[in-house]
Amino acid sequence: MRILGLDYGSKTVGVAVSDPLGITAQGLETITRKEENKLRRTLARIEELMEQYKIERIVLGYPLNMDDSVGERARRTEEFRDLLMRRTGLPVVLWDERLTTMDANDILIESGVPRKDRKQVIDKIAAVLILRSYLDSIQEKET
């Protein structure tokens, strides 16, 4: 079963996909849009990727506050989840994404990616980290 990992932001969505066995996560792309509420093209691109990779589940990064409370960004993510479920008919799992963008930035710095180039890939890397964390949790439950 292939799973799509998404890092939903105000103007970007980082996208990652698992391998068919659910062991690894690979970054695919960052979908951009000009305005936060203009989601038609974003959703259409996600649907194209779902069809291309035969996706059966979506894992969506859930930006809880550090004190576990649900802030405005998390509420917008919940709305996006609801929209995705209605539009795709697939289950969408909210997955704690706290600190993934910081971790993604650290990975890019350690890899020597110049600051000016990080913005183009940071959301994709964050999506990989979200999906990887989810896949690890599934594998832990199975052992």
Contacts 24+ apart (CB under 8 A), 138-142: 138/22, 139/22, 139/23
Helix ranges (DSSP H) in 19-70 = 40-53
What pLDDT is attached to residue 37?
80
| Residues 6+ away with beta carbon under 8 Å from 20 | 1, 2
Contact 128, 25 (CB under 8 A): yes
CATH code of the domain covering residue 40? 3.30.420.140
pTM above threshold 0.95: no
Range of the domain at 57: 2-142
Confidence of residue 20 (pLDDT cuts 50, 70, 90): very high
Number of independent structural domains in the chain: 1
Residue 143 pLDDT more than 70?
no
pLDDT tens per residue across span 67-95: 988 999 999 999 999 999 999 999 999 99
- Over residues 29-41, mean pLDDT: 90
